[in-house]
Amino acid sequence: MVVTLVSIGTVSFWKKTDGWGVIESEDTPGGCWAHFSAIDMKGFHELSPGQEVRFEWEPSTNIDGYRFNALKIQATGGEGH
C-alpha cells in the first residue's frame, strides 16, 4: 500500500515545452518531480519558478533521477504565482 503525503513547497524550475518540473520542500530532499497533468487548476496547466504550491506526493522509482513524484498540485496563493 502506497501512502500519499502532503507538503508545501516551491517550484524550483519548470520546463514549459516538456510540461514538467521540480518542486522543492523539506519533505522531498533532492526535489519532487512534477508533471502538468498533476496540476489541479482551471485553464492551462503550468507552474512558474518561485511559485508556492501545496502538493500530494509519493516516493517514486527514480523518475528522471528524482525519488519523489507529485500526484496533485495546487497553487497556494503564495510568492511567485
> Of 77 and 22, which is predicted with more confidence?
22
Q: Specify which residues 8 forms β-bridges with.
A: 54
Q: CA dist 49 to 2, 5, 70, Å?
A: 29, 22, 16
Q: Is the pTM of this model over 0.85?
A: yes
C-alpha cell at 70: 507529485
Q: Are strands 20-24 and 5-15 parallel, antiparallel or unpaired?
A: antiparallel
- The pLDDT of residue 54 is 97
Res. 36: pLDDT tops 90: yes
Give me the domains of the chain, ranges plus CATH numbers. 5-74 (2.40.50.140)
If you average pLDDT over every residue of the chain, what do you get? 88
- The pLDDT of residue 45 is 79
- The pLDDT of residue 78 is 57
- The pLDDT of residue 80 is 47
Q: Do the Cβ atoms of 5 and 58 come closer than 8 Å? A: yes
